[in-house]
Amino acid sequence: MKKILLIILSIILVSDAFAQNVEFDKKNFKEDKDGYKEAMKSMEEGDKLMASIPTPKFKQALPFYESAQKFNPNNDYLNFQIGLCHLYTNFKFKALQYFEKSYQLNPNLRTDIHYYIGKGHHLQANWNKAIQHYELHKKRLDQNSQLTEIMEMNKYIFECNSGKELVKKPVRVWIDNLGKSINSDAPEYGMIITADASVVYFTSRRPNTTGGNKDEFINEWFEDIYISQQTEKDKWSSSTNVGEPINTKGHDAAVALSPDGSKMIIYIDDKGDGNLYESTRKGEEWSKPKKMSDDICSPYHEPSAWYSSDMKLLYFVSDRPVSGKGAAKDKDIYLASWDEKKEEWTNVQPLPATVNSKFDEDGIYLHPDNKTLYFSSKGHNSMGGYDVFRTVRNDDGTWTTPENIGYPVNTVDDDVFFVVAANGRDAYMTSFREQGFGDKDLYKVTFLGPEKQPLLNTEDVLLAGSSVPMRSKVIEPAVEITRSQVAILKGIVRDDKTKEPLESNIELIDNELNKVIAEFKSDAKTGKFLVSLPGGKNYGIAVKADGYLFHSENFDVQQDSDYKEVEKIIDLKKVSVGQVIVLRNIFFDLNKFSLRPESQNELDRLTKLLTDNPTIRIEISGHTDTRGSDTYNKELSHNRAKAVVDYLIEKGIKKDRLEYMGYGEEKTIVSDSEIAKLRSSTAKEDAHQENRRTEFKILSN
């Protein structure tokens, strides 16, 4: 009995392998004329949709072709068309079986069939078979008149060879769906995040789209931007539509977000000329998006952008010609600088050829460390379509050779638009996976390799691009954790008495250079702020608001330090008698009382306060920790306070407005008994540092 079954199975397989092409001719379907008519009607409807202008409607045509194929599964043309539809929709990995069957039914249907079969094998990561069919297609091409196509085949073959090497060393990752609070049965993609990944925005096509309209070309809802907030670790609030004025009756797609989430860049298709718009948030309200400067928005296509963490630079992508005139070219990454006087982005320059390849670049993201740029490229050693790469800006302004961030995050298909949290370990991506919620979903990627950085496989399915599914393999994680040399300072600025939120100006100072390197504002309605502090610098933070004394903080972020987040509630005190302020960015060498150069910004800030308030008198006081003798500490603190007063007098502040006093260890903030309870030596030293301080007190006004 088993032998009979095997014989029958062999006959079925052989007959299928050598199936004859069945043309759609009524002579072949005399016994089912009605079925033939319906199948022909379906195929003709599919053909109409495929002939649509400006682009074929692959997704809409597919069910019509599939309906016709149920009636006649052995038609060469029909199988090829189904393969073509799959190739340009989410299920493109199904395309191969239909291309191969079309070829079996009729090897001469199309002269480019080996290209499509090669593409199908390429998408399946069948490297050698893909190369074989690409080579067969290349042999059909004329060496003189079809040189461009020959070069294209060589590119695909190069990608296959790159893929062979990349899959030998897979990246170790966890990939987790962000859950039903964010994802729906509609497509979600293009996720952007604040530096601490506490708030996310993304693009989706849902029935509650603003205006309630559908895109007639693809029969899907118009894109809108949605928001979700992290309520606790890996838990997210239910995503909601951001609403007007950001979302309009047309397509609205999220592109970039400032580190603190106060500015958003949006992509809008202006009559075929894709441009970037910017909106500013106050509290929960966003301003009407405003088109960015002409230097950014050229007559060409600008699909993506990202801010630097200090908001002084803007990276963006454009297909503009280098000369500024002529036909569009491959997309490259450009860099613009913020002109404070003109209050616009200027001085646009392309990144060097080290980064910009001869092919398209897109999907840029600058890490909060302000030097690590993630971007997608069809060039370099891509394994197929766009791959995500990582490059680092050196201190001299040059860029390292882009590194492919690896398989399985990078796949044989397009991997575009990704974001990486400031911790350097978590990333977020868009993926089409069978276990998802029905279409493309948003996923969290956790990278745990010592040599691989967090990365993101996503898809450019905004107005700026095409539909891109992703397939990945999850590898067992290693125990090593990637380190990120970034600190995040976030919190709320309030009135000291009423505790009401305050809008304030926040200056970020490089203490070594005595230079303000960035300026921010706390939110006018919530008082919230977030500042990214890349490693390798000693930072001064100054918080100022009209009618209030300034508040200062100091952060020394070592080059090799781990990622950390610091939350601060900053209560600003009004200018009134008795108020005491700690000057945290005044520095002295160990056991000395001469002011270090890094103190200048803080001292100049104090000078301005006294100049702006010409009637107030203050006391400058010096304080030490409890180590050392009482006599020594008191003398040292006295001399340090005097050094500050001498500086102020030198800057023009009248002597009779200034007093100074050295208190030594008399007024510690952290007591010895409290310090003794601290377990780590670092915590103990931080407590001693808290006690070593310079203060000023308003004596009269």
Q: Is 640 exposed, middle or buried (0-12, 13-18, 19+ CB in 10 A)?
A: buried
Q: What is the mean pLDDT of the chain?
A: 87
pLDDT level of residue 325 (50, 70, 90 thresholds): low
Q: What is the mean pLDDT of residues 597-621?
A: 93
Could you tell me the CA-to-CA distances from 47 to 26, 50, 57, 186, 259 in Å, in that order? 19, 5, 10, 27, 48
- Crossing angle of the two packed helices 76-87 and 113-123, in degrees rounded to 10: 40
Supply the pTM of this predicted model.
0.83
Q: What is the mean pLDDT of residues 344-363?
A: 94
CATH code, 185-447: 2.120.10.30
Q: What is the mean pLDDT of residues 328-344?
A: 90
Residues 6+ apart with CB under 8 A from 662: 621, 622, 634, 635, 636, 637, 638, 639, 640, 641, 642
pLDDT score of 473 more than 90: no
For Cα atoms 208, 212, 214, give the angle at the middle one, nearest 5 degrees. Answer: 110
pLDDT in tens, 443-464: 888 887 554 344 444 333 333 3
Grouping H, G, I as helix, E, B as strand and the rest as coil, residue 274 is strand
pLDDT level of residue 144 (50, 70, 90 thresholds): confident
> Which residue from 350, 352, 353, 374 is spatially nearest to 363, judged by alpha carbons?
374
Helix (H) or strand (E) holding 271: none
Q: Which two tokens stand for residue 140?
A: 């059909």
Cα–Cα distance, 313 to 198 (Å, whole number): 23
- DSSP per-residue codes, 100-161: HHHHHH-TTS-TTHHHHHHHHHHHTT-HHHHHHHHHHHHHHS-TTTTHHHHHHHHHHHHHHH
pLDDT given at position 401: 96
| Mean pLDDT lowest among 165-174, 197-206, 453-462 | 453-462
Q: Which two tokens stand for residue 590?
A: 């160990």
Contact criterion met (CB below 8 Å) for 288 and 245: yes
Q: Return the CATH fold of 485-574.
A: Immunoglobulin-like (2.60.40)
On whether the 576-701 domain is CATH 3.30.1330.60, my answer is: yes
Q: What is the mean pLDDT of residues 503-526?
A: 90
Name the one residue in this structure whose structure tokens are 């599914």.
469
Residues 6+ apart with CB under 8 A from 121: 96, 127, 129, 130, 133
Cα–Cα distance, 686 to 698 (Å, whole number): 27
Grouping H, G, I as helix, E, B as strand and the rest as coil, residue 195 is coil
pLDDT level of residue 203 (50, 70, 90 thresholds): very high
Q: Return the CATH fold of 18-166.
A: 1.25.40
Residues 6+ apart with CB under 8 A from 58: 50, 84, 85, 87, 88, 89
Residues 6+ apart with CB under 8 A from 395: none
CB count in 10 Å sphere of residue 675: 19
Burial profile 116-140: b = 16 or more Cβ within 10 angstroms, e = fewer: bbbbbbbbebbbebbbbbbeebbee
Contact criterion met (CB below 8 Å) for 401 and 354: yes
pLDDT in tens, 255-265: 999 988 899 99
Residues 6+ apart with CB under 8 A from 130: 118, 119, 121, 122, 156, 160
Q: What is the mean pLDDT of residues 571-593?
A: 91
| Residue ranges per structural domain of the chain | 18-166, 185-447, 485-574, 576-701
